[in-house]
Amino acid sequence: MNRLQGWLVFLPLFFILSCQAAQTDDVTVLSMKKLIDTKVASHKMCHNFLLSKSDVVHYFKQAAQVDGVEFNAQAMILPCKYTGALTMNGKKFQWEIMAGGAGYLFNKTNNNRYLCKGKCCQDIKGLC
Question: DSSP string of the chain?
Answer: --HHHHHHHHHHHHHHHHHHHHHSS-EEEEEEEEEE-TTSGGGGGGGG----HHHHHHHHHHSEEE-HHHHHHH----SEEEEEEEEETTEEEEEEEETTSEEEEE-SS-EEEEE--THHHHHSTT--
- Mean pLDDT across the chain: 84
Contact (CB, 8 A) for 80 and 126 = no
Report the pLDDT value the prediction gives residue 69, as an integer from 0 to 100: 97
Rounded Cα distance between 35 and 97, Å, is 10
Rounded Cα distance between 55 and 10, Å, is 33
Give me the mean pLDDT over the 89-116 stretch: 96
* pTM listed for this prediction: 0.79
Report the pLDDT value the prediction gives residue 13, as an integer from 0 to 100: 34
Residue 22 scores a pLDDT above 70: no
pLDDT tens-digit series, residues 11-21: 343 333 333 33
Between the two ends of the chain, the Cα-to-Cα distance in Å is 46
Report the pLDDT value the prediction gives residue 91, as an integer from 0 to 100: 95
Residue 126 scores a pLDDT above 50: yes
pLDDT tens-digit series, residues 60-72: 999 999 999 999 9
Report the pLDDT value the prediction gives residue 24, as an integer from 0 to 100: 53
Torsion angles phi and psi, residue 27, rounded to 5: -120, 125
Residue 28 scores a pLDDT above 90: yes
Rounded Cα distance between 125 and 128, Å, is 8
Determine whether 105 is exposed, middle or buried from the number of CB atoms within 10 Å of its CB (0-12, 13-18, 19+).
buried
